[in-house]
Amino acid sequence: MSKGLLRTHGQGHEDVAFPLRSGLDGVDWVLGAPAVALDRAARIVRDANGRDHQYDALVIATGLSPKPLPIPDHGLGGIRVLRTLEDAVGLREVLTPGTRVVILGSGFIGCEIAATAAHAGAEVSIVTQSRVPLERALGPILGAELLRRHEAHGVRFYLAATPFAPLPSFWSDQYDANLLAFGMTYLADRSELVAGTPDTECVAEYFRGENLVGVCGIGMRSAVQSYRSRFVVPVA
């Protein structure tokens, strides 16, 4: 439903809801009262209002939650997930011509968002660990065909990629100055000298707002190396 809302001008559930079939007339819809307890022996589900619901067969269909990035955002905005109606409305507002959109993952939701964003005139890139989109669901033949169709609409793919690249770093030797840096110093809006002096050896920290996004040193390699663990986050 949230994906459908990206392609409409609606603001509410009624704009994308499926019409109820006549065969569902006898269904008792208990809305706004999430299940809080399950008694499997008695076959009872209790909701947040304290009401018990007896069952003969139980289907647990609670849906999924978006998987957040297991890396720091370094104070950057524009990082979005798509799950709720509010998520969809917020994402739709930024899908304008020329907007650069990077989608992590090439499953059904990612590919549908890519198609919608490309149709809206956005510049779309998909980063995926798969060799073709929807590889696990559709296999290589149909996945390759979807790849062709997306690319025909201007979507760029980075296939068989690890979405979380190794820690950015660089080193440079210039005259007697040996520079070593970790993180994303180019994102910083300020820097602070935290050790030494620039005319000999030193270490500078780089910040975006209050977030440390990088470090660079002239000499003092061991001091700079000690920062690595502050930027690397294990990826499961």
Q: How confident is the model at residue 173 (pLDDT cuts 50, 70, 90)?
A: confident
Calculate mean pLDDT across residues 92-115.
Answer: 91
For domain 169-231, the question of CATH label 3.40.50.620 is answered with no
Token pair, residue 121, equals 């005139």
Q: What percent of the chain has pLDDT over 90?
A: 46
Q: Write out pLDDT tens, residues 181-226.
A: 988 888 888 999 999 999 899 999 999 888 888 999 999 989 998 8
CATH class of the domain at 95-158: alpha beta
Residue 19 pLDDT greater than 90, yes or no:
no
Across the chain, mean pLDDT equals: 85
Distance from chain centroid for Cα 72: 12
Chain position carrying tokens 């999430």 = 34
Q: Which residues contact 147 (CB under 8 A, 6 or more apart)?
A: 132, 133, 157
User: Which among 7, 4, 27 has a CA at the least distance from the CA of 17?
Assistant: 4
Contact between 101 and 95 under an 8 Å Cβ cutoff? The reply is yes
Q: Write out pLDDT tens, residues 40-79.
A: 999 999 999 999 999 999 999 877 777 777 666 666 778 8
Which has more confidence, 7 or 147? 147
Domain residue extents for the chain: 95-158, 169-231
d(CA 8, CA 16): 8
